[in-house]
Amino acid sequence: MKTCKYLALMIIVVCLGPAARSQLGDNLSSDEIKAAIALKPGSGFVAIMDSGFLTPSICKAQMPEEFIYTAKGWLNALSINARHQYLPFNPQPEDTLRALTIISQGCASGTASGPACDSITRVVLLSDKGGSVVIEAASSRLRPSTWQNGFGATAACSSLVSKFTMADVQKVRNQKGEFLIATFDGATHLKTYTVKARFIKKLGL
C-alpha cells in the first residue's frame, strides 16, 4: 500500500500565475520531459514519515508525512496517474518547472467527540534547527480533506502542496546535502523533518 502513495496523492492541480512561474525558474526541455515520463515508477520521489514514538498511537487515521518530488519525479508521477485513469497526458507548463515539490500532510486521529486532524498552512525549508537560513515556498496550494466517524461527526483540515526553486533548495543544504522541512498550522509549529543523505541520494539531488 505504501508504495502506491506517490500515485494516490497526484489527484491535484497546482495553478500558478505568470509571476509564480517566473519565480520558480525555467522548465524541463522536451527531451527531459520524455525522459521523465519513461523513468521507473517512484523515481525522483521519497516519503518521510514522522517517526515520533507516540505518533502511530495518536495519528491512527493519517500519519504526518512529507512527500518530496524532484521536477522529473513530479512529472513521472503525474504521467503514471493519468495512465492509470486511461487519460491522455499533456503536461501543463507548471508541471514541467525545475522545482522541488513537497506535499505535506498532518496527523488525523479519532477522539471521544469525533475525528480531529492538523492542517498544514505553511512549509519552510531550514538549514538547521536554529533557522540560520529559512526559505519560504515560491508557491503553495491548500488541499482540503474531510474526516468523518461512524456517528457522522466530521472534521476538516488541509494538506499543503509547496514548490521551491532549486536555487533556494541549494541555500539550505549542509555539507552532506541535507536540509530540514518545517510545517506549521497557522503560527503553530507542528513538525520538523530532516531530509537525510539517503533521501538526497534517492532523489538524485
Hey, where are the domains in the chain? 2-203
Q: For every one of its 205 residues, what pLDDT tens digit does the chain have, with 9 covering 90 and above?
A: 333 444 444 444 444 454 454 455 688 999 999 999 999 999 999 999 987 777 888 888 889 999 999 999 999 999 999 999 999 998 988 889 999 999 999 998 877 666 788 999 999 999 999 999 999 999 999 988 887 777 677 878 899 999 999 999 999 999 999 999 999 999 999 999 999 999 999 999 9
Its pTM stands at 0.84
Residue 15: the pLDDT is: 44
Residue 109: the pLDDT is: 86
Residue 157: the pLDDT is: 87
Residue 10: the pLDDT is: 42
Report the length, in residues, of the chain. Answer: 205
**33-71 burial string, b = 16+ CB within 10 Å, else e?**
beebbebeebbbbbbbbbeeeebeeebeebbbbbbbbbb
Reduced to 3 states (helix: H, G, I; strand: E, B; else coil), residue 38 is coil
